[in-house]
Amino acid sequence: MNFAAGLDWLTGPILDKELRVSSRRRRNYWLRFVYIALLMIPLAVVFQESVRSSSRQANSVARLSEAGLALTATIVWFQFIAAQLIACVMLSTSISDEISHRTLGVLMTTPIRSFQIVIGKLLSKLCQLLLIIGISLPLLAIIRVFGGVPWGFVWMSLCITLTATLFAGTVSLLFSVWGRHAYGVIVRTVVTLGVLYLLLPMIALMGLQQLAGSNAPANMPGVVTIMVLVNPLVALQMQTVELLSPGATAGVVGSFNWWSHCCFMLGLSAVLLSVAILTVRRVALREITGQLILDRKKERRNKTKTKKETSQTSPRRDLRPVRGAPVIWKELRTPFIKGGRRTEVIALIITILTLILIYGINARQGHLREDFFHTTFVIILLAMGLVSTVILSATMITREKEAQSWPILLTTPLTDAQILMGKAVGCFRRGLPIWIILAGHLMVFVVIGYIHPLALIQLALIMSGAVFLMTGTGLYFSARFRKTTTAVVANLAVALFLWAIVPLMVGVLTDQRGREEHLYYYVTSHPFVQTSVVIAATGGQANARVNTASLIYEWNLPNDAGRGPWATTGLLLFNGTLYLGVGAFCAWRATARVRRDIF
């Protein structure tokens, strides 16, 4: 209360109201519990590895400082990634909820300014994030007892994490002004951060290497310094390397102060906040005057105006008869990208230019003939496709509930299975552009002779099983919960649990008992491990020209020199069938939840 009262001139009553509401929500307490529980898993893995390594040394006390460094780096990176993801989710509905409930215009009739609305929403969520990040600070203080961990690194990593979190939250808040659905805001924010932090630096480095040629090593410190200044991922990576190996970044990065990076990120956040404040005021004024509703009606009238004009001369030509299942028919005619034809054309042009640039640079360096390039490319597209499936499948039913059209759909003669089948088809259809790019990449390089044709069948088994599993779980959570954000977070938690947390837990347990084969056998069901093994065996010009029976798949199993193509295909078929069964079970349970909690 004192904190909110002290910032009353800055936030008005918005911060006080948001803090009161947040303190009464159980999900915030569950979020803190899940955060600390997930943090303990990588810490247990690192600590177990450090203890085992220390027991082999004559002076185990001297190894405690190295264990402290490893544990500190683990905590820092965990909170760096988790805080940004939580900020994206928390702020995804900060303004869109007010717009959808038509309360934003009402707020503008009060003395509350748009500046106070935006700042109050942002600070209320940042307070929750500070509580979550503060959980790990006592752990960092305890680990410093091992020695070797300077307070400067802890303070520096905390500042970089906070500024990166503020920037991610500001981007999510800005997108929440323009988008009404939480899942769309989350996807746009994650994609934007991925492009800024990963894609653009990779393209810039590859382009500079091509332009600089032999002078690239000499110009590298200046380039890396600029990347560290504008990229928190690179900044924290450089500081972590310097912590674990002092002097390792001396010849890579030039003069750099971490506080200059934090000031730069604060400046970017301030610019985005200014845009959000201006946009919120404009949207609120349009809503309070009724222009927002009138503009939407005007857009609808413009879309149907030409249809009405042509229907006077040929009324039957504009009729679009529904053929087959109505829900499937409707989902198949939903545009890939909302915003009209112009947005779809722009997105298509950007995608084509990006692919041309990536292929051109790697073709000039001769990487297209190597399996490493294809492994990286396929895994990135697979991750993008699975993330889109996880998010979209969890929004199929909750969007209908939030739009209050779900009860109307249930009053139709359609069965529950028909409705869910249509939603599943719509989920796959919206993620189809990513799968088309992936399939096109594989087919083109199979024809060229850089990928073996057997990879098409094996990768189809991997992707179909994982997609069906995530679609089934997403439909269940979408039928189970009322809010889109809750369903999306639950489905993301399932994916992380299956493919990130469980391998770490199995690794800890098997390492303690000395039976590591259990970990290896579980990892063989991991879609990303399966993809890397398949591409490593079938990708590249050398592997593509080998006879099918001569392909060797290195699974790194105990007492296993490698498996042949048919044994690997059988393993992938079994795993895909298992995923298919679990996904079908979740979809069946979703049908039992369709007519429960309708409103």
Q: Check the CA dihedral 537-538-542-547 and report its sign.
A: positive
Query: What are the boundaries of each domain within the chain?
Result: 2-296, 369-593
Both tokens of 310, joined, read 């042509």
Helix (H) or strand (E) holding 558: none
For tokens 């009724």, the residue is 290
- Residue 342: CB atoms within 10 A of its CB come to 8
Residue pair 54/43 in contact (Cβ under 8 Å)? The answer is no
Q: How far is CA 371 from the centre of its chain?
A: 26
Helix (H) or strand (E) holding 30: helix 26-55
- Residue 173: CB atoms within 10 A of its CB come to 29
For tokens 């990449």, the residue is 441
Both tokens of 114, joined, read 């748009």
pLDDT by residue for the chain (599 residues), tens only, comes to: 455 555 566 667 888 888 888 777 787 888 888 888 888 877 877 777 666 655 555 455 556 677 778 888 888 888 998 899 888 888 888 887 777 777 777 777 778 788 888 888 888 888 888 888 888 888 887 877 766 678 888 888 899 999 999 999 999 998 888 877 777 788 788 888 888 887 777 776 666 666 555 444 445 555 556 666 778 888 888 888 877 777 655 555 555 577 888 888 999 999 999 998 888 878 777 766 665 544 555 555 555 554 444 444 444 445 667 777 777 777 777 766 665 567 667 777 888 888 888 888 788 878 888 888 899 889 988 988 898 899 889 888 888 887 788 888 888 888 888 888 888 888 888 888 889 999 999 999 999 989 999 999 999 999 999 999 999 999 999 998 888 878 888 888 888 888 887 777 666 565 554 555 555 667 788 899 899 999 988 988 888 888 888 888 887 766 665 678 888 899 899 999 999 999 999 999 999 888 887 76
Q: Which residues pair with 553 in a beta bridge?
A: 563
Closest by Cα among 231, 229, 205, 232 to 216: 205
| Cα–Cα distance measured from residue 256 to residue 258, given in angstroms and rounded to the nearest whole number | 6
Region of 557 (left: φ > 0; alpha: ψ -120 to 50; beta: rest) is beta
pTM: predicted TM-score of the whole model, two decimal places: 0.77
| Angle separating helix axes 527-538 and 371-393, nearest 10 degrees | 150
Both tokens of 466, joined, read 């994982």
Residue pair 243/151 in contact (Cβ under 8 Å)? The answer is no
